[in-house]
Structure 1
Amino acid sequence: MLERVRAGDAQAFAELTGPYLSELRLHCYRILGSVQDAEDMLQETLLAAWRGIGRYEGRASLRTWLYRIATNCSLNALRASGRRPRPEPPEPPFEAVTPTRRGEPVWLQPYPDALLDGIPDTIAGPDARYEAKETIALAFVAAAQHLPPRQRAVLLLRDALGFRSAEVADILDTSETSVNSALQRARATMAAVLPVRDRDSAPLPRSAKERDLAQRFAAAYGDDDIDGVIALLTDDAWFTMPPATLEYQGPAAIASFLAQSSRYRGSRHTWLIPTRANGQPAFGCYVPDEHAGICHAHGVMVLTMQGMRISAITRFVDGGLLPHFGLPRTLPVRWSSRSGS
């Protein structure tokens, strides 16, 4: 098949690379934190592989060679974006209550679970330090965005995918010493910024318990039943809105913010449609138009669960995210039931 590809057979190229597309897209997402940028980098990777297949000598596996291209395409994209000024992080459209803290802006998007289909559980090598479900989780990807790009790539290749240091050095055109040094610094940063949560105590993904907790949250949130939402949270739960820097921790702080948000929206209750992101329960968010009989897309909300409670609510207010989850940008108001819940 490789000879057919070198002879210009596009169908053979698609068959050769097809088994790796889902995991390469996820790798680009972990580096970039953006589902749209990950898709763009996957296409860049395929184009570079098609053009460079004649130089592929087979010294490394085809998978490793593709990871080399995908990693360097993603790092080049980060360098290019780093040279452009970032917009100011958004603020709520009302004067928000004082947050628990103001964090650094994290330019992050949720990743649709539908794009995880077809990724084998065995993609991580024996040297991986994290389980696959950990590296998909929103908290892990958010923490990785705090790393410098080179450290981020090293950590993901070594600890998420299990490549050996020598392989990572080859992928990044550097020395093993440099890889090990970057890895040590990256691990220290991740230990400091990654929340420590007992994921094993959370309900199993897609289980009846997880579904029940998510449904109870959606019913309370959609009805602006703030007491009902707060009753489902852990005592140290966080409410964040990346890339906004306002972060609220604990039932009292979260309740105050939700109450202010509810007052701002008035009778326009948020309608939540269930979906999944980063291996976690999520919702497409819609808010009714004041002047038309439709609901407008208003981003995605992702829940992190611990035990039978919710330990984090991450609210993304970008309406453009909904199509990635197979959800429309608008819906007729008649679709929503009582109070839009």
Structure 2
Amino acid sequence: MNELKSLTIVVPVYNEEEVILTSAEIIYQKLMLLIKQNKISQNSEVVFVNDGSKDTTWELVSTLSQRNKQLQGINLSRNFGHQNALLAGLTSVVVTSDFIITIDADLQDDVNLIDQMVDEALAGNEIVYGVRNNRDSDTWFKKHTAETFYRLMAKMGVNIVPNHADYRLMSQRAVQELLKYQETNLFLRGVIPLLGFKTTKVYYTRQERSAGVSKYPLPKMLKFAWDGITSFSVAPIRIILLLGIITVISALLVFSYSLIEHLLGNTTSGWPSLIISIWLIGGIQLISISVIGEYIGKIFNEVKHRPRFTIQENTLEQ
């Protein structure tokens, strides 16, 4: 009889005091059910990664870990961001876990899908993506901007799974390979498909948040999307090149037209067109410099090789 595999569920949390206790109970019961069904070993656990919360989230996690050894916590020294919090959790448990699932604390991602994820992993899949089957729970704006983002990434040649966030199962080997990617500008949804390995998708309906508010407001969503684009594609720089070529061609055409009009004696006052041209070219230059500066800034962050997270306290070591 084959030895049962261990499963760790990594849950990044940031100011989730309103939902953490409920989420912990639901996830723990799911873990216990899988153990009772002999799908995973009794060494399986849930690990909450506190990403510098300003409320009582870490105190609640600490209390849970004291009462139940299968509910553990990692406390980061400050807010490092969702992606780095996930990475901290993966790094901390990869040595002891055969399978690792990542899921957000609000449980909008259906925990009942974990059964199917484990089944797919036991069948030989090393990466199992949890994919939304629709976006009906989103606002019109969020739904259409998300769809536009996925289409844009695909056109730029980025291999990304549409309607997949960070709800996934990975084998120990897949996580070990992931940790070899050392970039500071981390976009896991783009990196993980680069790993290869045998993968599959399982589908679910996203639920409404039971309590609290989203920790990804519009500014953070836009920043996340921009980081994803600039971390995996130089398409924006190529667009600037194309824009520059179009501008030069347009200028040559206008110059030719003006020269012909001058030779024909049809000279007219050109103050409005002159001002518009200056503003247009100036705006294009500012945008171009900003986009190029974004890439230079990313290079600046990468070459410093600063740690992507710092663990202040870890109940796994106790």
Q: Which protein shows a greater Rg?
A: 2
Q: TM-score, normalised by structure 2?
A: 0.23
Q: TM-score, normalised by structure 1?
A: 0.22
Higher relative contact order (CA 8 A, sep 6+): 2
